[in-house]
């Protein structure tokens, strides 16, 4: 696994709001990731969010427009040991910290986003405005489990949009470009297509505008993703994926530091021994 980011990659990420890392996983690691994610998605059944088997609102209906954008299964780290091991890897946490410029990073949520054959496009959107905290440093990793091409729905980014984004939100709906009604200033910017070989990954800022095309092929476009929050981030009142019993206990301004919900996967002050060991 590539887990050290170069100065050029950090500079690209900070300026453009995203960066692609081509040689992230080895072939062996990619095989493990595919096995773990496929198993976790299969065992989850039609429930999108961990722990919400009894909540009709979190079941995949398969017939709505959104449920045909991708098969979305959230917080697989919570109910699958193989995915848990992959997601809690402090090396990924260190990469995320180095890109974001923060000391510590917590998992907000992971999600498998598998675009089925002939799947709908992923409308342009911002991630962070949907989450239960506002942060200009929050970010996500998107790991390609299949080759992601312009034909099967690779990600596209509006470069630099994270620098002018507000926390106004537009959902992933049927209007692919609805975001540009809210952010008219981006409407003429040429997006960058992030094609990736399986095993590559990208990181994008939670305020970078992004979307993906339709899957115009008979094959799957599988991706495993994880969203991260800087350690110390505070609750903004949004429910999003928080469990009801936790949400009910929170007050706006509380630090989101419950390790059972948002595990700290890396902190500069705690991980230097581990880092030195890996450096050999
Ligand atoms: O995989 C996709 O189509 C969209 C991914 C996305 O929106 C994200 O990772 O934040
Ligand atoms: Fe997104």
Summarised one tens digit per residue, pLDDT across range 41-61 is: 999 999 999 999 999 999 998
- Give the fold, CATH level 3, of 7-275: Jelly Rolls (2.60.120)
Q: What is the pTM of this model?
A: 0.96
- Cβ–ligand 1 contact at 110 (below 6 Å): no
CB 2 within 8 A of CB 21: yes
Question: So where are the chain's domains?
Answer: 7-275
232-248: buried (b, 16+ CB within 10 Å) or exposed (e) per residue? Answer: ebbbbebeebbbeebee
96 lines ligand 1 (CB under 6 A): no
Answer whether 135 contacts ligand 1 (Cβ < 6 A).
Answer: no
Ligand 1 atom closest to 225 (CA): 9
113 lines ligand 1 (CB under 6 A): yes
Residue-level pLDDT at 62: 77
| Ligand that comes closest to the CA of residue 113 | 1
Ligand nearest to the CA of 66: 1
Q: Could you identify the atom of ligand 1 that is nearest to the CA of residue 212?
A: 3
Which ligand 1 atom is the nearest neighbour of the CA of 70?
3
DSSP string of 213-265? ----SSS-B-EEEEEEEETT-B--S--TT--HHHHHH--TT-B---TTTS-EE
Query: Does the pLDDT at position 274 exceed 80?
Result: no
The CB of 111 under 6 Å from ligand 1? The reply is no
Of all residues in the chain, the percent with pLDDT exceeding 90 is 92
Q: List, in order, residues 6 or more apart from 148 with CB less than 8 Å away.
A: 154, 155, 194, 195, 196, 198, 221, 223
Does 154 contact ligand 1 (Cβ within 6 A)?
Answer: no
User: Is residue 273 over pLDDT 80?
Assistant: no
């Amino acid at each position: 696994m590539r887990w050290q980011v170069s100065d050029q990659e950090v500079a690209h990420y900070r300026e453009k709001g995203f960066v692609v890392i081509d040689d992230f996983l080895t072939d062996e690691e990619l095989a493990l990731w595919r096995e773990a994610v496929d198993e976790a998605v299969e065992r989850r059944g039609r429930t999108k969010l961990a722990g919400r088997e009894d909540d009709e609102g979190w079941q995949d209906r398969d017939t709505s427009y959104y449920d045909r954008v991708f098969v979305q299964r959230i917080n697989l780290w919570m109910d699958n040991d193989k995915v848990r091991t992959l997601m809690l890897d402090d090396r990924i946490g260190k990469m995320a910290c180095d890109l974001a410029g923060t000391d510590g990073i917590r998992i907000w949520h992971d999600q498998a986003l598998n675009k089925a054959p002939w799947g709908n496009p992923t409308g342009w959107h911002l991630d962070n405005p949907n989450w239960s905290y506002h942060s200009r440093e929050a970010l996500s990793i998107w790991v390609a489990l299949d080759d992601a091409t312009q034909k099967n729905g690779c990600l596209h980014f509006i470069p630099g949009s994270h620098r002018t984004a507000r926390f106004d939100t537009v959902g992933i709906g049927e209007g692919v470009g609805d975001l540009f009604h809210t952010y008219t200033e981006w409407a003429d910017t040429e997006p960058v297509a992030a094609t990736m070989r399986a095993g590559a990954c990208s990181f994008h800022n939670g305020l970078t505008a992004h979307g993906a095309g339709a899957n115009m092929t008979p094959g799957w476009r599988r991706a495993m993703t994880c969203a991260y929050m800087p350690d110390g981030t505070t609750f903004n009142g949004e429910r999003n994926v928080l469990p009801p019993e936790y949400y009910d206990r929170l007050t706006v301004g509380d630090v989101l530091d419950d390790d059972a919900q948002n595990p700290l996967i890396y902190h500069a002050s705690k991980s230097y021994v581990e880092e030195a060991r890996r450096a050999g």
